[in-house]
Amino acid sequence: EVLQLYAACPQTGIEKEYKRLIAFKKTRLLAPGEEEKLTVTVPARNFASFDETTAQWKIEKGDYAIFAG
């Protein structure tokens, strides 16, 4: 199995997707019904969007919702 983390980005000045994959991690091979606790580190750069007007990566102010799946 693979844990996937997505961020819903604030829709402000920079045009971007609504949700983006920010991290993922594979579990070890699990038996049926078995669980595994995972810790995932998400680098801040994974929240950055490219601003074409300044040709720079920026992390915009606003609320970021995190979803796991």
- The reported pLDDT for the residue numbered 17 is 86
Q: Which two tokens stand for residue 64?
A: 């970021």
Q: What is the count of structural domains for the chain?
A: 1
What three-state secondary structure class fits 25? strand
> How crowded is the C-beta side of 57, counted as CA atoms within 13 Å?
5
Q: What is the CATH number of the domain that holds 55?
A: 2.60.40.10
Question: pLDDT tens, position by position, for the chain (69 residues)?
Answer: 899 999 999 888 888 888 999 999 999 999 999 999 999 999 999 999 999 999 999 999 999 999 998
State which residues form the domain around 63.
2-68
Backbone φ and ψ for 45, nearest 5 degrees, come out as -60, -20
| Reported pTM | 0.83
Q: Which residues on adjacent β-strands are paired with residue 57?
A: 50
Q: Of the candidates 33, 28, 51, 63, which has an alpha carbon nearest to the alpha carbon of residue 3? A: 28
Q: How far apart are the first and last CA of the chain?
A: 10
